[in-house]
Structure 1
Amino acid sequence: MSEVLFTVLVGLVALERLAELVVSKRNAAWSFARGGVEYGRGHYPLMVALHTALLAGALAEVWWRRPEFVPVLGWTMLALVVLAQGLRWWCIATLARQWNTRVIVVPGLSLVQSGPYRLLRNPNYVAVVVEGFALPLVHSAWITAVVFTALNAVLLTVRLSVENAALAALDRAPSP
């Protein structure tokens, strides 16, 4: 029974991710219409694959290994998943049309420093990291949690490098 409930949870997270992609696609069109430049296209398919693998891996591990649901771990991790989703949508709301799953910089727009960005430089990535280990651990899928966290650390290193380079290029660009 707990495997079924976990599957529903992962399905809800998958639906949330699809909603993100809809928002991202709309925001990308808005950005490109204003002269936005995309950076780091090469790592984006890997990011999509890794995040898809998180969901699939968590489900596969729970249904294959059938780890026990540990209430103190499961409920704590579920709370972290919910908080991560809240933080992610706070980021999306704060960045508004500037939020995207890709790295797109629109010349002339200033760096957002309100909402969660007044507290953290990369709050969306905090949400990603927390969700990446917490979601599988809701049902003790520790293998998925460890593998995703390790691979995501490598990918985030690349992603942050791309974002920093994009922002540095924007700083050097002439003002419109």
Structure 2
Amino acid sequence: MFWLMISILLLQRVSELFLANRNENTVKKLGAVEYGRKHYPFLVSMHGLFFLCFMLEVNLLERTLSGWWGILLPFICLVQLIRYWAIFSLGFYWNTKIFVIPDAELCSKGPYKWSRHPNYIVVALEFILLPLLYNAYVTAFMFTVLNACMMRIRIQEEEKALQLNRN
């Protein structure tokens, strides 16, 4: 079950990168400006390292499925639904990079009614819930801390970009 889950999640991430690339081309035609280029390679690396560390911890330390899997798995599925709700709510504006189209309205539908950054919440929950599903506590702790640091940088950069767009 572990390898099936990892395969699905990796396929999901690769598909999202293709979608982001397609959306990037679309918004650039609308005059979008990219922000946060300096931290983006670190963000991508962090996500790749998450999966690598998760797989290594589960296999090398022989982690097994948590006794709490019946609770954790439905939450993981719910988090995935929220991820796609956020992606579909933004449509072609969704991206893994920060793009701002001059004078565009902020999205206020879907999960964006309640949070300015629902996808960041999703990632934070994934970095906790996925490793906990397999008792991979080192990965859960390490990437929760790394993600918190990255999100501090990322959200500041995104808010700065949006502020510049309003002026």
Give the TM-score taking structure 2 as reference length. 0.96
Indicate yes or no: 2:24 matched with 1:28.
Answer: yes
* Root mean square deviation, CA, Å: 1.0
Aligned equivalent of 1:57, options 41, 53, 56 = 53
Q: Name the residue aligned to 1:16.
A: 12
Instruction: Note the alpha carbon deviations across 1:89-114, whole angstroms, 9 max, x for none.
Output: 10010000111000000113100111
CA distance in 2, matches of 1:75, 1:53: 27
Give the match's secondary structure for 2:55.
helix
Aligned equivalent of 2:141, options 131, 141, 146 = 146
Give the match's secondary structure for 2:103.
coil
Equivalent AA in structure 2 for residue 53 of structure 1? L
Equivalent AA in structure 2 for residue 26 of structure 1? R
Where does structure 1 lack aligned partners over 5 or more consecutive residues? none
Q: Name the residue aligned to 1:101.
A: 96
Where does structure 2 lack aligned partners over 5 or more consecutive residues? none
CA distance in 1, matches of 2:71, 2:136: 14
CA distance in 1, matches of 2:140, 2:70: 16
Cα distance, 1:77 vs structure 2: 2.3
Give the match's secondary structure for 1:42.
coil
CA distance in 2, matches of 1:14, 1:26: 19
Counterpart contact for 1:36–1:107, Cα < 8 Å = yes
Give the match's secondary structure for 1:41.
coil
Q: Name the residue aligned to 1:170.
A: 165
Cα distance, 1:122 vs structure 2: 1.1
Give the match's secondary structure for 2:95.
coil
User: Is 45-54 or 61-70 further displaced after alignment?
Assistant: 61-70
Total equivalences in the alignment: 167
Give the TM-score taking structure 1 as reference length. 0.92
Indicate yes or no: 2:79 matched with 1:84.
Answer: yes
Give the share of equivalent positions with the same residue, in percent: 34
